[in-house]
Amino acid sequence: MTLQVLVVDDEPLARSRLRTLLGSCTLPAAQVGGEAANATQAMEMLRRHSFDAVLLDIRMPGADGLALAQALRTLAQPPAIIFVTAHAEHAVEAFELEAADYLTKPVRLERLQMALEKVERTHLAARGIQADTPQEALVIQDRGRTERVPLHEVLYLKAELKYITVRTAARSYILDASLSELEEKHVAHFMRVHRNALVARHAVRALEKHDDAVEGEVWAVRLNGIDELLAVSRRQLSAVREALVSLGGEGGRRN
């Protein structure tokens, strides 16, 4: 299904960015069915048209987004509400209004798609339809192109400066995301080996010890498909060993 979305924000540039992000969404697909700069305009559009979701700013002139969300609950078929705001302090109030999600600006494509997936599941469940489970993937913007990289192809995720390096056997990608959020979302696929790195559980081949002239004894994991070794911090060493045992892997040692 293609979700019909109403974008409500008093800032034209903010509406334009959301319009661009929605155009890049694939699973589920979404399109902007209307835009409004304030609560009054939004209510007029909602009385005339049906929308699946509203991307709703909180701080706007006149009635704010929280007041509009309260009013939407009186509609016969209220749309799902996804708050999009620069202010994180209203999250509790937002979820008391049964918001589908709460996104903080600047919104990342991956987080927007996660929110829309929730809306799609809710709509399909209301119709008694079981949503298809798409192949899990990371959505990556690369040189003006949107690409889905299947999760099973990813060997490691490494935080470098403000971005994440996504490494597959074939190549590397750059992803604008949070390593902690990726770990939480995909904990079944990845394990942490360092404060700045997650590795694919299925790809770990060995845990190796090396003697470093400066740091002394250091450990690293070797992954299937690439020659690169990834450092394992002392803090994560025990957990990595346990994970290797539970996966049936053999931690090779080199002295």
Radius of gyration (Cα) for the chain, nearest Å? 22
| CATH code of the domain covering residue 204 | 2.40.50.1020
Strands 29-36 and 2-8: parallel
| Within-domain flag for 146 | no
Q: How many domains does the chain have?
A: 2
Claim to verify: residue 118 and residue 158 sit in the same structural domain: no
Strands 163-168 and 145-150: unpaired
Q: What is the pTM of this model?
A: 0.53
Claim to verify: residue 45 and residue 100 sit in the same structural domain: yes
pLDDT at residue number 246: 59
- What percentage of the chain reaches a pLDDT higher than 90? 40
Tens-place pLDDT, residues 64-93: 889 999 998 888 888 999 999 887 777 777
| Within-domain flag for 75 | yes
Q: Which of 34, 38, 98 is nearest to 68 (CA)?
A: 38
Claim to verify: residue 10 and residue 119 sit in the same structural domain: yes
Instruction: Indicate the SS3 state at residue 37.
Output: coil
Claim to verify: residue 93 and residue 184 sit in the same structural domain: no
**What range defines the domain where residue 56 resides?**
2-126
Q: 210 CB contacts (<8 Å, ≥6 apart)?
A: 217, 218, 219, 220, 254
- Name the one residue in this structure whose structure tokens are 């060997």: 155
The one-character DSSP state at 151 is G
| CATH code of the domain covering residue 43 | 3.40.50.2300
Of residues 57 and 1, more confidence is placed in 57
Tens-place pLDDT, residues 186-211: 888 899 999 999 999 888 888 998 88
Tens-place pLDDT, residues 116-132: 988 888 877 766 644 44
| Within-domain flag for 44 | yes
